[in-house]
């Protein structure tokens, strides 16, 4: 059975992230990816997770509460476009974005192409060789198609000598199924 974009995103990250790594959840949302990354890196790794909505931070904190790996997680009530301020000189093994809006929330508060591109630029500058950035674009909302188009163009323009880029998408499903992009540093 073919995997959904979310399940495939986790598989792509599981292939490269190990205990002790430094990773980023650029859009923490309800904390599913943050917890997944924390479990991959373990208590000695590091996860920086970002969101602009306090509801996302609170939901993520609650999701992490029972797990010892929460010690590895740093939650930031800040936009992912500011990720460079937190990375400083450190290198990351992986990052993930889920673009769109926070589920069961205000659908007017969405990720934006310009902030996502700024975050991608910063993360690529800190990505280790063989590291991966996964971007899952949910685009069935106002502004979503423009962001999907911008991210697709961004990924297509990455230099082949430095990166491999994968696009994964179901093309015969209703309701704009998400599109996954995976950028791997060579």
Taking only the tens place, the pLDDT of each residue in 115-158 is 999 999 999 999 999 999 999 999 988 888 999 999 999 999 99
Q: Which of 178, 111, 180, 104 is nearest to 142 (CA)?
A: 111
CA–CA distance, 12 with 133 (Å, rounded to integer): 9
Q: Report CA 28 to chain centroid distance, whole Å.
A: 8
Structure tokens at 154: 């961004």
CA distance to 114, 147, 149, 158, per residue, from 163 (Å): 21, 21, 19, 7
pLDDT at 130: 98
pLDDT tens digit sequence for 58-75: 999 999 999 999 999 999
CA–CA distance, 67 with 26 (Å, rounded to integer): 21
Q: Whole-angstrom distance between the N-terminal and C-terminal Cα of the chain?
A: 29
Q: Is the pLDDT of residue 173 over 80?
A: yes
Structure tokens at 165: 């880029």
Q: Is the pLDDT of residue 102 over 80?
A: no
CA–CA distance, 25 with 4 (Å, rounded to integer): 19
Q: Find residue 22's DSSP bridge partners.
A: 46
């Amino acid at each position: 059975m073919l995997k959904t974009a979310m399940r495939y995103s986790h598989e792509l990250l599981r292939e490269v992230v190990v205990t002790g790594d430094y990773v980023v959840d650029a859009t923490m949302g309800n904390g599913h990816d943050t917890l997944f990354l924390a479990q991959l890196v373990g208590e000695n790794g590091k996860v920086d997770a970002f969101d602009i909505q306090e509801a996302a931070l609170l939901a993520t904190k609650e999701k992490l509460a029972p797990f010892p790996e929460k010690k590895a997680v740093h939650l930031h009530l800040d936009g992912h476009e500011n990720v460079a301020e937190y990375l400083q000189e450190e290198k990351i093994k992986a990052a993930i974005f889920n673009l769109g809006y926070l589920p069961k929330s205000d659908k007017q508060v969405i990720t934006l192409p310009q902030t996502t591109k700024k975050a991608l630029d910063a993360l690529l500058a800190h990505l280790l060789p063989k590291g991966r950035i996964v971007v899952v674009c949910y685009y069935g909302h106002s502004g979503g198609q423009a962001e999907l188009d911008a991210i697709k163009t961004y990924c297509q323009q990455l230099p082949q000598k430095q990166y491999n880029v994968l696009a994964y998408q179901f093309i015969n499903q209703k309701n704009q199924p998400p599109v996954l992009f995976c950028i791997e540093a060579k």
